[in-house]
Amino acid sequence: MQQATRREIIQQFKERKTPRGIFAIRCAPTSETWVGSATNLDAAWNSLRFQLNAVHRNQQLLAAWRQHGEPAFTFEVLESLPDDIDPINLHDTLKDRRLAWAAELYAQLV
């Protein structure tokens, strides 16, 4: 690989936009739903699976995961936020949207 091409690839990687927004985790056997938010939706499911296979702060979600196993769960992106949200307001926006979705779905928070 040429040095210029490698630099371009690295620069493109650094400048990429990561999708951020709200997601749901659903347990099929119990019909329970948990809602969470992430600044990187692409990495959220992988991160949650890792935490649930070790230890997770949400004891109800962890108990359901241990009882039913990973195949019983699905990960669903509920809402992607636009890229033009001011980084200063991102945390508050994610929190507000997460609470709104949790209320709409009668879900627990992750």
Global pTM reads 0.85
Give me the numbers of helices (H) and strands (E) for the chain, helices first please: 4, 4
101 Cβ contact partners less than 8 Å away, ≥ 6 residues apart: 22, 24, 35, 78, 79, 107
The residues spanned by each domain of the chain are 3-109
Beta strands 32-38 and 21-27 are: antiparallel
Reported CATH class of domain 3-109: alpha beta
Mean pLDDT by 10 residues, the chain (110 residues): 74 79 97 96 95 92 96 97 90 97 96
